[in-house]
Chains A and B, each alone.
Chain A
Amino acid sequence: MNEIQILLVEDNEGDILLTLEAFKEIKVKNTITVVKDGEEAIDFLKRQGQYTDSILPHLILLDINMPKINGIEVLEFIKKDEKLKRIPVVMLTTSSSEADIAECYEKSANCFITKPLDFGKFLNVVEAIETFWFSVAQLPKKAS
């Protein structure tokens, strides 16, 4: 597979750095675009506002707790949009609440991953995402 484009929707600067560092370590060539709240995520995916030139990602990593529009609302927006709904969404969040997990699966998240606080463990999670999403599973061809 060629370079994978990932959209990271995350407001916490520390988590952003951690994720960028971890994805630098993996074998698959990837580009990560970061947006910091739900509203920006929707603008990016709909190519509106400051993002009229954006390229749709192969995979979306989505945090739940964010300012303005939260991750669950963004998930719902994506999975109800005819063009966007096929993009796999990985909920990557510090939450491990049963209510959040249930709601995300009900709203068609592709998977829910609780983000470990420890960098070593976080690296393992990112490696698992790499193996699973970029080598075992087939990603859909991108909608243009």
Chain B
Amino acid sequence: MNEVHILLVEDNEGDIILTEEAFKDMKLENKISIVRDGEEALRFLKKEGEHAAVTTPQLILMDINLPGLDGKELLDIIKKDEELKEIPVVMLTSSAADEDISECYDKHVNWYITKPIDYDKYTKVMHEIEAFYVSFVPYPKSGR
């Protein structure tokens, strides 16, 4: 498998560092692009402005609580966009509220994961995402 390009949409610096660290240890070759709010994520996905030269990610990890456009609104836009809706989206959030979980699945999130606060558990979840990613078939298979 070639390098996997992951887009992380997260405003919390601690969580960004934690995610980058976890992905560094993986067998799966990966590249993580980071954007810090929903509007920037959309510019990245639409390849606009400062993100004109990026490749389309094969997986999006996003938080729910983001400044400006929040994660649920961003998810809704992605999953209604003909070009973007095929990209698998993982909602990675501290919320374990049933309403949030149901709303995200109604809006066609691929997976909803409650983010553990503990570093070891967080790393474990990232590795389980990796293990699962290897066994399922993502689309697009390679970045565009």
Which residues from chain A sit less than 8 Å from chain B, CB to CB?
Answer: 79, 85-88, 96, 98, 101-102, 104-106, 108, 110-114, 124-125, 128, 131-132, 135-141
The reply to whether B135 and A124 contact each other, CB–CB distance below 8 Å, is: yes
The reply to whether B132 and A114 contact each other, CB–CB distance below 8 Å, is: no
Q: Number of B residues contacting the other chain (C-beta, 8 Å)?
A: 29
B23 within 8 A of A: no
Q: How distant is B85 from chain A, measured CB to nearest CB, in Å? A: 6
The reply to whether B88 and A111 contact each other, CB–CB distance below 8 Å, is: yes
Known contacts A96-B137, A136-B128, A138-B114; is-contact A108 B108 (Cβ 8 Å)? yes
| B137 contact from A88, A108, A113, A136, Cβ within 8 A | A113
Q: How distant is A15 from chain B, measured CB to nearest CB, in Å? A: 17
Which residue on A lies nearest to B108, using beta carbons? A108
| A110 contact from B98, B111, B129, B140, Cβ within 8 A | B111
Residues in B neighbouring A140, C-beta threshold 8 A:
98, 101-102, 105, 112
Residues in A neighbouring B110, C-beta threshold 8 A:
110-111
The reply to whether A108 and B114 contact each other, CB–CB distance below 8 Å, is: no
